[in-house]
Each structure stands twice: as C-alpha cells, then as structure tokens.
Structure 1
Amino acid sequence: MSAAAEVWAGLNDRQRTYLRALYDVDQALEDEHRQRGARGTFDPAPARVWRRISFNGAYSPVVSRLRAAGVYDTGAGATLAALRERGLISSETTPGVLTDMVDVWMTRAGRAAVRAGTGVPAARTARPRWALSEWLWRQMAAVARAGEDGLLAEQLASTTHLYLDAGHGDRRGNRAYLRTEQRMVPVTYRHRMYGNDQTWTTSQPEYRYHLTDAGRAHYAEHLGAYRELYPDIDAPDLDVQAAGADLGPAR
C-alpha cells in the first residue's frame, strides 16, 4: 500500500467526504484555469490565488456537496482541523461581521490521498474544445433537470452565471447557454402586535434559470458525448418544451 493510500485509509468516513468535496472543487478550479488559457485568457497569478476555495462563502460549492451528504454542521471546523493536521489541506480564517470566512487550499498530499483512495486519475481525460468543464456541465444538467419550472437562481453554483448567463454575453469566454426568468411570487407575512395576529400578503421577484436556444442546441447535440466524458453527472434527455418558448423577460 502506498503512503497516500495509507493516509486515506486512516481517515474516517466524514473526513473522507470533506476531503473529496474539496478535491472536486479544487479540480474544477484547475480545469477552469486551463480552459481560460486555451481561450487565450491565461491568468499568470500564482496557483494559491486561483486555487483558493471559499469554504463557507455564499453559494460555496463545497457547502452544497457537504449538505447533500448530511455532514455540514457545527463540527465542520474540527473536521477541517483534522485534515489540516495531517497536511492534506491548508486554510486561512478572516474575521467577518456575522461569521468568520474560511478559505481552504488542497495540498499535494491531499490530492494524492484522494486519488489513491478513490482511484480518480491524476489527469483528466482530454475533452473536445467545444466541451464545457465538468463544473459548468453539472450546472447545465441541473437546469435541464429542473424542466419547464426552471432552476432557482440561488441553486446555481458559485460564479456559473459569469460563464453561461446570456446576461453576461459581452464577457470574454462567456457562452450564452442560460437565461433568467423573473416571476413575481406571493409571500405571506405574519406579525403579532398588541396581542393580535396580523397577516398580510405581498409579492416579491423570484429568478429562475432556463436554457437558451443556443444552450438547448448545445445540450442536445453533445449530450451523448457529455455522458461519456462526465458519467457521474445526471444529465437527462431534454423534455418536449419548444425551444424559444416565451419564458418571460430575460435579464
């Protein structure tokens, strides 16, 4: 057994779940960095800058993975400390107004442990130039799974909108595969005042993501290839919703 495999074997299930979640995000960042370089927008910043993982920031992809696994709770700090003590990650904490913000970096030892323990290859299979990264394709598939209702904007991970939202189409490297629909939804408020319950209903905007015509065309044309490239992503067949349907005002 290799040293990296022994390290993995010495972790408990919770620690492995955290380390694998961090590894997946680390690899997505690496993939995006490589993709920008291929488009001629290479970032010369050191790896510590673009590999930084916001652990508990808004819409953190790590948090969403850990919540899905049922292990994001008050013991998160202790788990990170256990991984840090083993040299599998490094981290920094910045004091915040409501909570301290934690940034994490995978170490080489951490990546090696995940690869040895899970069999994930060190190098990803080369993908065609037309293909999205695994991270962006995962978001496209999530929108497709949402169907005609669309995916709530807050459920779209991290900075996906900068790369796929038609509203950012003038940004270099953006592919306008997603668009937002605004709906007004009713919201009921209840308040107790002077011993009486008061209830009133108003409305507030809700934003949902849908595939654009270009997004649907790309999705349908390359779905089979994406399923081979990223087999762990649940990418359904598109429904019969007509391309170009009136889904409301885009932004």
Structure 2
Amino acid sequence: MSKHHSLWEKLNQRQQATLTAIYHTDQQQESAQKQAWHKGLSREKATVWRNLQYYFEPTGHETLLHRLLRQANVVDQGLGSTLQVLERLGLIECNYRQNELISIKLTTTGRAVARAGLGESAPKKPPKGQLKPRQWEALVRAYLSGENGIDNNTSSDDYAGFSWRWTWLRLRDYHGTEEGLVKEVGYWNQGKYSTKLVITLSGIEFYKQQWEQYRALYPDVNAPKPDDVT
C-alpha cells in the first residue's frame, strides 16, 4: 500500500467524502482551463483557479465547490472540524475572512491522496517536444499557407487568431531545429512595413514525418495528408 493510500485509509468516511468533493472540484476547474487552452482562450494562473471558491455571497450563485460538498452531505456544523483535520494533515489549505470560509485549495499531497483512494492515476505528461492541440493546429495553418505565409492583419501579434506567446513562439523556437518550425518575415507592402509567419523547411519536414502521429493524437484538427506521404 502506498503512503498516499495509507493516509486515505486513515480518514473516516466523512473526511473521505469531503476530500473527494474538493478533489472533483479541482479536477473540473483544471479541465475547464485545458478546454480554454485548446480553444485559444487565455487561461488564469494556477495560483488563482486552484483556489476553489466556497463563499457565494453577494452574487447568490452557488459555487461548484459548495454544490459538490452539499451533495456529499457534509455542509453542516461539522464541516469546519472536518476541514481542520484535512488541513492539519496537509491535504488542503483553507482561506478565511472574518471567520467565514472563502476558499479551499487542494495541495499536491491532497490530490495524490484523493487519487489513491479513488483508484485514479495521475495523468501522464506528454513526451518532451510534443505539440499541444493549438500548436499543431497552427502548424497545419502555416503548412497550408506555404510560401505565402500568414499575414498579421491585426494590431496584435496573434497571427490567424493563434497566440504569439503560447503558440507561435513555441513553434518558432522549437527545440532540435536550427530554424524552428516557423519564422517571422518582414516585408514592405505599398510603402507600409508588415510581417508574416512562414513555415520553415524544418517545419515542412516535421509536418510530413509527424502527420500520422498527430492525426491520431488530435483527430478533431483538420490536417490534410501531405502529398508525398503514403
């Protein structure tokens, strides 16, 4: 038995139910952040969204954490004592304001204990260098644009709606290549200086060699098959 599972077994049924509700809230928050990433939307810092809001005044809208704790039948006079035990064991961190519970943060240990008790495994990290969905989708766009490249038609650096910081910069500085997978090219058009992103030869080769792998990995991305791939 692992140390995390052993700690789970030491919790009583009420403490386990409370930790489970907090864990499920944490995981739903994480899933929402990942979905925002995949859609190209900005994400909050983990230090912000991992602070799970419990208090829902003055809006009157019940928070996800409060709802899951209520459904676990632990929102009563004994909740404070239960949270104190979990906090003393280093499984959660509670934030109070004038003795009012505001938010709860699940610690790394708390997450591991909950997973051990629920029989879940921590998600495996992707292999080093593996493109994320939006990065692969951006590379597909660059590949289809060919030598014409992708013009920057906005005041920001987010070419074709993809984030410069989180997407294009990662492709430009992709490790293992001298020139990256894409490059930024400056040019003059009707007396006005502009820039565009163009796929590099390394990017073209990467697309051809990795196309089948990424097609299976991200089937929702419409990535045409390269002409010379059988």
Q: Normalized against structure 2, the TM-score is what? A: 0.49
- Structure holding more helix per residue: 2
- Structure holding more strand per residue: 1
Q: Normalized against structure 1, the TM-score is what? A: 0.45
